[in-house]
Amino acid sequence: MTELLSHITSVLSPFLGRRHWLIGYSGGLDSHVLLHLIWRMREQAHLANKPFPVLSAIHVDHQLHNCSTDWAVQCAAQCSDYGIPIDIRSVEVGSGRQGLEALARAERYRVFEEVLGEDGALLLAHHQDDQAETFLLRLMRGSGVAGLAAMPVMRGLGRGILYRPLLDVPKAELERYASVYKLKWVDDPSNEDVHYRRNFLRHKVMPVLAEVWPGYRSKIVDAAELQSEAADLLSSYLNDDIDRLRGGDGSLDLLGLADFDRLRQRAILRHYVYLHFGVRLDKAQSDELVDQFLKSSQDSQPVFSLGKYLTLRAFSGRLYCERGTGGEVFDPSAEWDWDSLQDCLVGGVGKLSAESGGDFVPRGKITIRFRQGGERCHLAGHAHSKSLKKVLQELMVPPWQRERLPLIYCGGQIAAIADLAICEGYKVKPGECGIALRWRWNR
């Protein structure tokens, strides 16, 4: 079947200059067809003495089936036959309200992002039928235009990109290809279990749709593309609104947001949360955020949890997004020696760095510490010293950040408070060369 090979050669040609192609290989029919097609592409390139990206595969074993280890072995054997290295990763899928499918997907993409290197392209075998199913699933969840855009052909992922070269190809064409080339693949029995919603759509709903609308898949894909265009246009407008409301620390001005009508408030909050967390809120969550954060008094500090590690907080009329690490535990008693030439990574908190040309002049050995209680500091240009607690209040540092804000000590004295303030005796003087401190929270 030269048509499918010609198609994938055409759509992947813009990515031939990338250093590495990583194929997501489950071992099922779809990903096996993709693997075979790209292997043929590479063979043709080598015969023509043309360069080709470094090629490898990644298989994620979710350990949800008794045969999953055997499937991984089968994937490794197949890749060996094609001379394609494969990385097999086992993950543990936990439990949660999202459901097993969503949790497995999250673990899979976490591994993909971890493995994908600089200038790499992750290639996945999603096809037209998958796109139609995704559209219908999101429609049943009450998704808006961004959700109904379904799966994008391409998006950024980690240090590289994710690309779906078969997204406009019907599954029936992949099945014909596999039959012609006598491919053998893994059959996961869970794909027949209609207790899973995607399988229910695939086996119970879509065959009925096909009886009345034989070409429904392509029509749904067309509708998803229109939703994608609408979502991109809406995003450009919302980005402008957020740029006007967002402060230098990334927080959102709730007082400014209150000037918009409720419909726009919901849209801005949804988009703001998506930009920070990559999570799309539903209508109920959007309404709850408006009620909780815009109707509260300026002195209140409401908290809204989107998940185990995703939190929104309000302080002094501003909304903050906070992302926990889920792993590293912050140690408030920890301290580090720092030469300011290298970034100082604070596990579970953020990164402190410095560059030339600023107002801070370290004098003596630099140590990074955290607030223990009872500290005092004398800010440059102020007449007297104050308690660190009072200074942090005046600097409008949100209460939950105060214990984790790095303090720069020189010779045992507080010389600077992150990149917020410089203490007396450590500000650049005429003729001196200072450095600019930069503190960035993990988000």
On whether 356 is known to bind a ligand per the annotation, the reply is: no
The dihedral through the CA atoms of 27, 32, 38, 42 has a sign that is positive
CA-CA distance, 153 to 113, in Å (whole number)? 17
On whether 218 is known to bind a ligand per the annotation, the reply is: no
On whether 95 is known to bind a ligand per the annotation, the reply is: no
Retrieve residue 39's tokens.
């292997």
CA-CA distance, 99 to 201, in Å (whole number)? 16
- Measured in degrees and rounded to the nearest 5, phi and psi for residue 357 equal 100, 10
CA-CA distance, 40 to 53, in Å (whole number)? 13
Q: What sections of 83-205 are H helices per DSSP? A: 100-115, 128-140, 145-148, 171-180, 197-200
CA-CA distance, 103 to 373, in Å (whole number)? 41
Show Cβ contacts of residue 260 under 8 Å, excluding neighbours closer than 6 positions: 241, 268
On whether 27 is known to bind a ligand per the annotation, the reply is: yes
What single-letter DSSP state applies at residue 122? E
On whether 28 is known to bind a ligand per the annotation, the reply is: yes
For 201-234, letters b (16+ CB in 10 Å) and e give: bbeeebeeeeeeeeeebeebbebbeebbeebeee
CA-CA distance, 56 to 49, in Å (whole number)? 20
Write out the H or E segment, with its range, that includes residue 212.
Answer: helix 206-212
- Measured in degrees and rounded to the nearest 5, phi and psi for residue 351 equal -135, 130
CA-CA distance, 155 to 161, in Å (whole number)? 6
On whether 68 is known to bind a ligand per the annotation, the reply is: no
First to last CA, the chain: 47
Show Cβ contacts of residue 443 under 8 Å, excluding neighbours closer than 6 positions: 250, 276, 321, 322, 323
Contact present, 15 and 121 (Cβ < 8 Å) = yes
| Binding-site residue positions | 26-31
| Binding-site residue positions for ATP | 26-31
